[in-house]
Structure 1
Amino acid sequence: MRPEAGDTHDLTMATGSADVGGHPVRSHFNAELDQLRLQVEVMAVRVSVALDRMGRVLTTGDEALAQVALAADDEVDAMLVSLTERCYDLIRREAPVASDLRFLVSVLRVLEELERIADLSLRVVKQASEVPLLMADAPMFRTLADMASVAQSLYRIALDAWSSQDVGAARALAEHNRVMDGHYATLLEHILGLEGPGAAHLAVAAVLVGRALERIADHTVIVGERLRYLLTGDPAYLAAEVR
């Protein structure tokens, strides 16, 4: 999908301008940018796996799976370091300008958001032992399960948008996030109404899980808005990052 109507910036798959006269140095740089974009996608897929595990832990309380999820986070952290260093190396060597610089700076931000999403998924995973307690309150647990489903759906949209460099899909993220906001408001209202000797314990567990899921959605929207900035050059899309 092409950038939105009225955009004055045009990118070649968001990885720099076209080769000038087939210059071999330029061709090599473009190839490196394309490779970087694909590596970001690989990291994003790993985060998607983390979110899938998170969802299963939340719905089952599987503590063995929770340990697998916790151990796998090291892979995401390693990719963050490796790809961040790659971006800085390209900036140092190539001194990019215009769309190329915008791409590299945007990748740096997207990498941070992906790592943050993975970390937030672990906050949910670490509550595996509390899942039976959460399940005991059926209405609240349904809300949490719905929030996890929305978070995963939003992330899939963001991943597809990055893979296809689709500005339209990225635009849809903010609209879908309103569903998450509604679920979170419902959760908080329910928590405020909790009573009884176990209410405080249940409230803490629910807030930890619910807040993490809500923040996953927020960071996913930032990925989408950063992609819109990358594809259009419009700085208005950076406003979502100011929270």
Structure 2
Amino acid sequence: MAEEVPLRLHYSAELEQLSLQAEMMGVLVDENLERMRDVLRTGDLVLAERAISADDTIDDMNVSLTERCYELLRREAPVAGDLRLIVSVLRVTSEFERIGDLSLRVCKLAPEHRLLTLAPRSFDILLTMADDALHRFREALRAWSAMDEALAEQVANEVRVNFSTQQLVESMLSYDGPEAVPAALNTLVAGQALDRITDHAAILGARVRYLITGDPTHLAAEVR
């Protein structure tokens, strides 16, 4: 019996480390989202390449954490809260990886930055969407870090009060000239990516809420 206590302490430490490493992955994604916003604003090609390179580290962390979760599931056969944590890390890191990929869609438009700025109204909407996406992600990451149920609830259910993809499309009606089509297509790609990042941030909030409460009804909010 005396040996079980140190083993349990070691297992608890592993779970805590797993949660912290997931948070570290989220911080890397946050850094790339900030790069994405700056690339969108400036068209900085060097910064775009830096974001693309940084995504390799994010992908590596996702693989490493996934393997670690599977190992813990195999070795420990966890139940209740421990099982929710491990499965939630799997889910959260998958969302982080997806958000990172979406941010790269915007960064890869850097060579076409001039086209994004042809219609000032559309470009302003894109910048606002980027600000909102970064803010929502940071709130979701903060909810995970603090295991803050109220904040997770807010992130999962917050009603959008800013621009939507539909409004972006409507603003694109002002495009004219021989570059109208490529400009509209690039704007739409960026807008859809930013919109999806915000959706994935809400999914993160729903996952944190489920992890804290254990209420399976919250899982429906992850389907978007």
TM-score category, normalised to shorter length:
over 0.9
Q: 1:103 aligns with which of 59, 64, 85?
A: 85
Q: Which amino acid aligns with 2:61?
A: M
Does the 8 Å CA contact 2:118/2:183 hold for their aligned counterparts?
Answer: no
Indicate yes or no: 2:48 matched with 1:66: yes
Higher normalized contact order (CA 8 Å, seq sep 6+, divided by chain length): 1
- Residues 59 and 176 of structure 1, relative CA distance in 2, 3 Å threshold: farther
- Structure 1: 4+ residue segments shifted above 6 A: none
Indicate yes or no: 2:136 matched with 1:162: no
Does the 8 Å CA contact 2:165/2:195 hold for their aligned counterparts?
Answer: yes
Distance 2:90 2:157 in 1: 25
Distance 2:157 2:214 in 1: 21
Q: 2:128 aligns with which of 146, 150, 157?
A: 146
Match of 1:129 in 2: 111
Match of 2:21 in 1: 39
Unaligned runs of 5+ in 2: none
Q: Deviations over 1:12-38 (max 9, x none)?
A: xxxxxxxxxx82221111111001010
Q: Secondary structure at the match of 1:178?
A: coil
Distance 1:127 1:176 in 2: 29
Q: Deviations over 1:164-212 (max 9, x none)?
A: 0001111111344513x74322102112453432221111000100000
- Structure showing the higher helix proportion among its residues: 2
TM-score by length of 1: 0.87
Report how many residues are paired: 222
Distance 1:75 1:241 in 2: 26
- Aligned runs of 1:1-243 on 2, under 5 Å? 23-176=5-158, 178-179=160-161, 182-192=163-173, 194-243=175-224
TM-score by length of 2: 0.94
Does the 8 Å CA contact 1:154/1:177 hold for their aligned counterparts?
Answer: no
Taking every aligned residue pair, what percent have the same amino acid on both sides?
A: 52
Q: Secondary structure at the match of 2:177?
A: coil
Unaligned runs of 5+ in 1: 1-21
Question: How much is the aligned-residue C-alpha RMSD, in angstroms?
Answer: 1.6
